Amino acid sequence: MHDFPDSTASKRRVRRSTAEIRLLILDAARALFAERGFAGATTRQIAARAGVAEPLIFNNFGSKSTLFAEAVIEPFNDRFSDFLAYSDTLPPDREQRNAHYVQALYPFLREHADLLLAMVKSSGDMDALAIHGLDDYFAAAVARISAQYGQAGLEFDVPPELMVRYGFGMLAGSVLLGDWFFPEGVPDEGAAEGALARLLFKLSEPKPL
């Protein structure tokens, strides 16, 4: 006589914790927002990718906008908040600070290129979804650079408001367009970081006397 598994027990689903469900939804949302943008990714598609019932998205996040903020925006806010706290300990030397900036943020952007893609593809839908961590960094960087130049009696060649934004844009663009820039293979991380740090150093040079 053979023992067969209880069909009822075999069909019974293992109960997942709220934390596990949230993580599944966040991972699925991040991937779909990167593929289709905010407007193109539906909560039904996200639920299907996550393997959960669609109402669980609203139970856990309330709305698609809140899900987008937690899946895409908050990782940037967290990273830039950490960097702001860390940057207060950096040496005053401009070249060293540029190198530390690239080393702290460029690997993060490369590792999270999907977040950049999600923001680019959702740019027309993000008016109410400010990346306050990045905004805070921009404001702090402008204030710090302005104070340093003022104390040294130097004048800006490039306005600091543009310098810090285009500096970040250079890092983000090198990640997003790396395959186009280098169709035969992107340079290794060390060479890329060194070149970017040097370019930022040149960007922040004061106006010649």
105 near 170, Cβ under 8 Å?
no
**With DSSP H G I counted as helix, E B as strand and the rest as coil, what are the percentages for the chain, rounded to 5?**
75, 0, 25
Does any domain span residue 82?
yes
What are the tens digits of pLDDT across the range 74-120? Answer: 998 888 888 888 777 777 788 888 899 999 999 999 999 999 999 88
Half-sphere exposure of 149 (CA within 13 A, CB side): 18
pLDDT per position as a tens digit, 121-144: 888 776 655 677 788 888 988 998
**How far is residue 180 from each of residues 118, 173, 176, 189, measured CA to CA in Å?**
19, 11, 9, 17
Note whether 39 and 121 are within 8 A (CB).
Answer: no
Q: Are 46 and 25 in contact (CB under 8 A)?
A: yes
Q: Are 203 and 101 in contact (CB under 8 A)?
A: no
In a domain, 5, yes or no: no
Q: Give me the residues paired with residue 206 across strands.
A: 156
N-to-C CA span, the chain: 97
172 part of a folded domain: yes
User: How many CA atoms does the CB half-sphere of 163 hold within 13 Å?
Assistant: 22
Q: Which range of residues forms the domain containing residue 197?
A: 71-203
Task: Note whether residue 41 is domain-resident.
Answer: no
pTM of the model: 0.81
CATH of the domain at 190: 1.10.357
**Domain-embedded: residue 7:** no
Number of structural domains found in the chain:
1
